[in-house]
Amino acid sequence: MDQPPREISIPTLADVARRAAVSTATVSRCLNSPDQVGKKTRERVMQAVADLGYAPNFGARALAAKHTNTFGAIIPTMENSVFARGIQAFQEELGRHGKTLLIASSAYQEALEEEQVRALVARGADALLLIGFHRDPKLYEFLKSRSVPCLIAWSYDEQLKQTAIGFDNAGAMAALAKLVFQQGHRHVACITAPIASNDRARDRVLGVQRAMKAAGLNPKDLHLTQTPYGIENGETALRKTLAEAPETTAVMCVNDVLAIGALRAAKELGLRVPQDISITGFDDIEIAMLAEPALTTVHVPHHEMGRRAAGMLIQMVKHTEPVQSVELPTDIRLRQSLGPAAS
């Protein structure tokens, strides 16, 4: 009856090896490529692992193996489901391949995102999922120098050199705007997130302007209100918009959250939607359908984007053939918040 080792300290590979009367190399192999080791030995080792409650030390493993099977993702916010659903799918797919996902949130702050990128890389992330193209080129260089593959999601741009999976923000918004103009609206305003640091918002505004041109309107006449993210900000923005451009009959918001805020403000102002004013969003998050009236918006395949992003990124870390960017289709969900222009 050998004295079981008291649980005085955390068991290491060496402890397991000792107990199973094999070398540490064998234990390591048992854990990482079990088929390279004899059945009997393997069973003995696994028993020892179980007995001791052994769990590998990640730091040591990362140090020795130079990869971590850990991917990182940085999302602008967790405050709503826009990114949550895509990321959840991303995580599930990674899990299926034995990868772990580390998530960080940048709260829509560029400096914070940079910090998170470095933190994630420092902690050994094998690859990164980032949202949108816009960021300091130095960050891309940093990632390259560390050979950490990086995939851009939620945006797609043929021009740019980064591999991406996303959709045509401008095109989708233009398609929606076309519908708005078809309803007879001539005085359209746009409520947007700050476009300086958010290419998705910028592209969506450009989409509206492109559609204006096509409809024979002057893109410069588009009334633009920029505001940070948030329902309350959407409310304020609508009030501001209507104060500055009272002739507005349709307000196109670059995301659903701002649109929900606008919707609420319209109600507070006693305006009927869509009779007095039409409102549209983008993303098709859950509240879009739940809102009263339900929100006309652009539906984005969040789930599929997340799932496929995982597959692409896994390919990228294998760094065999280069991975092609993927453009996903979007479609418009016509609901009650958009109606004909009041005459």
Cα dihedral across residues 201, 135, 151, 228: positive or negative: negative
3-state SS, residue 101: strand
In angstroms, rounded to a whole number, what is the distance separating the alpha carbons of residues 234 and 277?
Answer: 15
- Could you tell me the smallest distance in angstroms from the CB atom of residue 9 to a second copy? 9
Closer Cβ to DNA, 37 or 176, answer by number? 37
Subset of residues 142 to 181 that bind a second copy, contact rule: CB under 8 A: 142, 145-146
Alpha carbon of 330 to those of 52, 321, 324, 333: distances in Å? Answer: 52, 28, 19, 10
Per rule CB under 8 A, is residue 232 in the interface with a second copy? no
Per rule CB under 7 A, is residue 69 in the interface with DNA? no
Contact residue for a second copy among 21, 160, 290, 334 (CB under 8 A)? 290
| 151: enclosing H helix or E strand | strand 150-153
Q: What is the x/- site pattern for a second copy, positions 18-47, by CB under 8 A?
A: ------------------------------
Segment interacting with a second copy (CB under 8 A) among 74-82, 193-201, 309-317, 332-340: 74-82
Amino acid at site 273: V
Q: Which listed option, a second copy, DNA, none, makes contact with residue 169 (CB within 5 to 8 Å by class)?
A: none
Contact residue for a second copy among 48, 254, 260, 312 (CB under 8 A)? 260
Query: Is the Cβ–Cβ distance between 314 and 97 less than 8 Å?
Result: yes
Q: What angle do CA 56, 62, 66 make, to 5 degrees?
A: 140
Contact residue for a second copy among 12, 24, 41, 105 (CB under 8 A)? 105
Alpha carbon of 225 to those of 61, 184, 236, 262, 281: distances in Å? Answer: 51, 22, 10, 12, 14
Residue 70, strand partner residues: 100
In angstroms, rounded to a whole number, what is the distance separating the alpha carbons of residues 113 and 146?
Answer: 17
Per rule CB under 7 A, is residue 14 in the interface with DNA? yes
Segment interacting with DNA (CB under 7 A) among 50-58, 231-239, 303-311, 331-339: 50-58
Segment interacting with DNA (CB under 7 A) among 6-14, 96-104, 157-165, 202-210: 6-14
List of residues 6+ apart from 17 with CB closer than 8 A: 23, 24, 26, 27
Per rule CB under 8 A, is residue 12 in the interface with a second copy? no
Per rule CB under 8 A, is residue 215 in the interface with a second copy? no
Q: What token pair was written down for 171?
A: 């095109």
In angstroms, rounded to a whole number, what is the distance separating the alpha carbons of residues 123 and 72?
Answer: 10
Closer Cβ to a second copy, 69 or 197, answer by number? 69
Binding site for DNA (CB under 7 A): 10, 12-14, 21-26, 28-29, 31-32, 36-38, 40-42, 54-57, 60-61, 63-65
Binding site for a second copy (CB under 8 A): 7, 10, 53, 55-63, 68, 70, 77-81, 84-85, 87-88, 91-92, 100-105, 107, 118-119, 121-124, 142, 145-146, 231, 260, 264, 286-287, 290-292
